[in-house]
Amino acid sequence: MKNHSEEESAEGRVTSPMQSFNGRQAGIGVVVLLVGLGIAYLIPTVL
């Protein structure tokens, strides 16, 4: 079993790589966020 207290090299482990994105993809993300918030909060409030 591996000892978790040992330091791993920065090159050997990548847990959450950032990928580049453009403005269109960010806009789609904002639209998805707004639709999700509407479903979660606005629809139950109206009903």
Instruction: Please name the residues in contact with 37: beta carbons below 8 A apart, sequence gap of 6 or more.
Output: none
pLDDT exceeds 70 at position 1 = no
**What is the predicted pLDDT for the residue at 33?**
97
Stretch 26-42: mean pLDDT: 95
**What is the predicted pLDDT for the residue at 44?**
87
Confidence of residue 34 (pLDDT cuts 50, 70, 90): very high
| Domain ranges (residues) in the chain | 23-47
How many whole angstroms separate alpha carbon 47 and alpha carbon 34?
A: 19
Judged on CB neighbours under 10 Å (0-12, 13-18, 19+), 35 is exposed
Instruction: Please name the residues in contact with 2: beta carbons below 8 A apart, sequence gap of 6 or more.
Output: none
Confidence of residue 41 (pLDDT cuts 50, 70, 90): very high
**What is the predicted pLDDT for the residue at 19?**
80
